[in-house]
Amino acid sequence: MKRQPSKPVRRTKSRKNSKKITQGTILKYSALLLFCGFLVAMAYQYRHGFLYWLGFKTDKRVEALSKEERKIENLRIYEIVERHKEKVFGIDVSHYQDKIDWETLRNNNDEFPLGFVFVRATAGKNKVDGEFRNNWIGAKEQGYLRGAYHYYRPDENSLKQADNFIKNVTLSKGDLPPVLDIEKIPNGQSLDSLQVGLKRWLDKVEDHYGMKPIIYSGESFYTDFLKEEFEGYDLWVASYSFFEDEIRNDWLIWQFTDKGELKGIKGMIDVDIYNGNMEGLKRLCK
């Protein structure tokens, strides 16, 4: 008797295979979550550097660090100081440092000798830094080379901002060139208008003092918005990247941290390196 042909059997995935696929999916999403967590942690750890990269860092006080963050930052600062012992170190200050004890600063920081100080003088078309006079006089009395800088507000008239700086800053023999601090993109104008305004400020200040100003900005902000139009100006760069450990040849000054600690100053302070020795720095002066 002939057998009737059997119907083809439809194969189904075993529970075992289904279980393997589920486990693989879980592992994949777990790895993705871990990676996202890592990115978030990195963004928090280097949040100030990322803000500079985006060009939106403001002139606000930097928040306190945790103990672990302090240890990491101290190690980075120590490494950079060791690599630049032949250079000249300095700081830049404003009213955010409150009252500075200039005598203590000069006499109690032998492990971190300073040669120059930049003092915030003005901001925008009408603001004068509340501690400018005290800092300006204190730096001079303690024998530091001193310079003054203006915090530029992109949406305010550039010539009025230049007038504000000129009205409040008198440069004497031995003072460093004036500095234009530009960190923000404008809200109410184009980038072309920003560049025109910056040039007007620079030209007016140079005409008044007979010294070519220095431009201060974040590394990426300068590269993205200013570099081509302002070639020929000395550059003071803020770059806090953990992977940046030596000053670049085309940087006149490098602000390598905003988390320094020095006796005589409350809280944290910006620390800078001049790309040369003291004799070279003095040649820049008025």
Q: Which residues are catalytic?
A: 92, 183
CB atoms under 10 Å from CB of 250, counted, come to: 10
Q: In sequence order, what are the residues at sequence separation of 6 or more whose Cβ sits closer than 8 angstroms to the Cβ of residue 41?
A: none
Q: How far is residue 217's CA from residue 233's CA, in Å, rounded to a whole number?
A: 12
Q: How far is residue 271's CA from residue 206's CA, in Å, rounded to a whole number?
A: 26
94: left (phi over 0), alpha (psi -120 to 50) or beta: beta
269: left (phi over 0), alpha (psi -120 to 50) or beta: beta
Task: Give the three-state DSSP class for 101.
Answer: coil
Q: Which stretch of DSSP H or E encloses residue 258?
A: strand 253-260
Count the alpha carbons within 13 Å of 79 in the hemisphere toward its beta carbon. Answer: 13
